[in-house]
Chain A
Amino acid sequence: MIESPISSGRNHCSAGLLVRVPASDYNSVPMKRAFLLFLLFSFILISCSPTNNSSVSKSSANYIENKGSDTIVNLALAWAERYQTEHPNISISVTGGGSGTGIASLVNGTVDIANASRKIKEEEVAEAKSNGVDPVEHIIARDAIAVIVNPGNPVSELTLQQISDIYSGKYSNWLEVGGEDRPIVRLSRETNSGTHVYFLETVLRLGNKEDKTLFSMDTLLLPSSEGIISEVRDNPNAIGYDGLGYVPDDLKMIAIAKEEGGAYVLPSIDTVNDKSYAVARDLYMYTDGEPKGIVKEYLDWILTDEAQLIVADLGFVPVLK
């Protein structure tokens, strides 16, 4: 009877659990069982043992955790990449998940910077205060929401009121807004998207806080920008909306007039900057208190021309000083 070869002191904690087998019986069933048990218990041991490399937390001096809005995630990634190549000692982790997710993480103290495509809500500020977190707002870029249709759709101009009526369910055929005789398929982002809330407030309710208009019940709620884009690209019945930065060239953007008789304006960097395009908003980053150290350096860099050029590259609108 000898100790089985696989337990040769690699992990003496689990060796005691092994069944001793004759060496000649190397391929026997008990041998295999013993090996499986060995694997099982070493997994348990490994998963139980305290890991020393988990010290990558926000307390680390060269690490910035950045999380939030899916609208901003590509922009934040591009910034983080550029910044890290210029400052190799800094590492920035960027994740999406939605504005609410980012702010919730800031409130819980798990991120250094939360990205949000909407202003922080009063409840969230209250929750943050009760957690000892003081959210500070930074406007880091501007965004316009484009209303998009299939290129085969002859409709190219709508008023805000018409779009509101389409999404609230008042119009359900393209004929009613000057198109072909086709049913309207309304596409929207999920309710957890900052873009959804912004679209509801700015377009469906035309900025009127008292207005209780809701999305028509048969509005399709898609979990991602890609879902909306692929459906609009494919389906001539569809109408959707998405951040200007995400609309590919092969889709048709609708020129929007603020009111009937007004000028129809296509979304672009210029029309957002001169405020003639109606559906545009600020994008934010939130920090806990005034930023300090590397977070401050990073946020300052974001407002430089170099970083704002990336904003323009991605189809967002740079912040003008």
Chain B
Amino acid sequence: MEKSLSWREFIITRLIQGSGYSAILFVALIFFFLLREGLPTLREVDISSLLNVRWYPIESYYGILPLITGTLIVTIGATLIAVPFGIGTAVYISEVAPRWMREILKPIVELLGGLPSVVLGFLGILVMVPYIRLFMNLPTGLTAFTGSLLLGAIAVPTVVTVAEDALDSVPRAYREGAWALGATRWQTIWRVTLPAAKSGVLTGVMLGVGRAIGETMAVMMVTGNAPVMSLRLNSLFSPARTMTATIAAEMGEVANGSTHYHVLFFIGMMLFIISMIVNIIASSVLFRSKKRAERILS
């Protein structure tokens, strides 16, 4: 009996270990696949034409700069919306809201996070696009800004969930100490609780940004997908084409192994690298502040 139990234990442990390691294996395989399919781009297309400003693949114009700037401007817009809104919501849920309110708000925010982005895209195209055109007096409502708003809404639940957990784990003694010193509620939040939860809040922001960069469907539906260079501030209010939307829109059509196919994988490779960088920044921030916390505690 004892023996068979330990034998079972062994198998279960190994299975769990295996599924843990499989994540590494999958990421490595995916990256290898992206490299294998994407790197031939550098042989088939000149760097100078890759850095061109026109993306029109069916006539062999492979300028990816408009796509990169499109992704950047939409993501920056989304971050500017999601960060204050997300942190504000997290602070409200964790610090201000009464208990019953918290019980209602948390599941609702999580529900928002589980909403399929294509549903948000539909809402965007039917409701937001017409009103953005009218209110802001733009030629069209299909703009990078519309995409940013939607992506912001998609990123907010991620930011809220992670930041709220971080705020929640700040010891109660910190707040009580601040109140004892006569700090107002706002002072406590701004000077004590938020700084104490900084690393978790930053992780939430980074994960939210990562979510925004990778989002495809909603963006494809509302940004207009015009591959124009977005360099000025007002580019936010004109159409843009993101890298993800490009891959999604064009992958279905390309002939396997063609230059266009390789360029799309090259874009995928760049997206992979970008989200890897975002993740590395997030975890290094987390790691650094963890070390600091250990130092304080010792």
A residues with a Cβ closer than 8 A to B are 16-17, 19, 37, 97-98, 100-101, 104, 123-124, 127, 182-183, 185, 190-192, 197, 212, 214-215, 217-223, 227, 230-231, 234-235, 237-238
Contact = CB atoms under 8 A, between A and B. Distances in A.
B2 interface: no
A238 B12 contact: no
B255 A183 contact: no
A31 to B, nearest CB: 16
Contacts of B227: 217, 221
B56 A97 contact: no
B139 A237 contact: yes
A218 B228 contact: yes
Interface stretch (B80-88, B217-225, B278-286): B217-225
B54 interface: yes
Contacts of A183: 139
Nearest to A186: B226
Contacts of B61: 214
B58 A218 contact: no
B225 A17 contact: no
Nearest to B56: A214
Interface stretch (B94-102, B104-112, B126-134): B126-134
A100 B253 contact: yes
Contacts of B20: none
30 contacts: A17-B8, A19-B8, A37-B12, A100-B253, A101-B253, A104-B256, A124-B255, A190-B225, A191-B253, A192-B252, A214-B56, A214-B59, A214-B61, A215-B56, A217-B226, A217-B228, A218-B238, A220-B140, A220-B226, A221-B225, A222-B224, A222-B225, A223-B220, A223-B225, A227-B125, A227-B221, A234-B130, A235-B130, A237-B140, A238-B140
B57 interface: yes
Contact residue range for chain B?
A: 35 or more
A191 B250 contact: yes
B274 interface: no
Interface string B141-154: 11000000000000
Contacts of A234: 129-130, 133, 141
B239 interface: yes
Interface in B181-237: 220-221, 224-228
A230 to B, nearest CB: 6
A190 B56 contact: no
Contacts of B142: 220, 222, 231
B273 interface: no
A231 B140 contact: yes
A124 to B, nearest CB: 8
In this complex, the member of B66, B220, B250, B253 whose beta carbon has the largest number of chain A beta carbons within 10 angstroms is B253
A231 B129 contact: yes
Contacts of B226: 217-221
B140 A185 contact: yes
A19 B8 CA distance: 8
A221 B254 CA distance: 17
B239 A218 contact: yes
A98 B239 contact: no
A17 B56 contact: no
Contacts of B253: 98, 100-101, 191-192
B11 interface: yes
B139 A220 contact: no
B255 A127 contact: yes
A17 B8 CA distance: 7
B249 interface: yes
Residue of A104, A190, A197 with highest tally of chain B CB at under 10 A: A190
A219 B142 CA distance: 11
B262 interface: no
Given A192-B249, A227-B125, A238-B140, 9 more contacts: A190-B250, A214-B56, A214-B61, A217-B227, A220-B140, A222-B225, A223-B220, A235-B130, A237-B140
Contacts of A218: 226, 228, 238-239
Nearest to A194: B253
Contacts of B56: 191, 214-215
Given A100-B252, A222-B225, A230-B126, A191 B58 contact: yes
A220 B224 contact: yes
B140 A97 contact: no
A101 B255 contact: no
A16 B8 CA distance: 8
Nearest to A224: B221
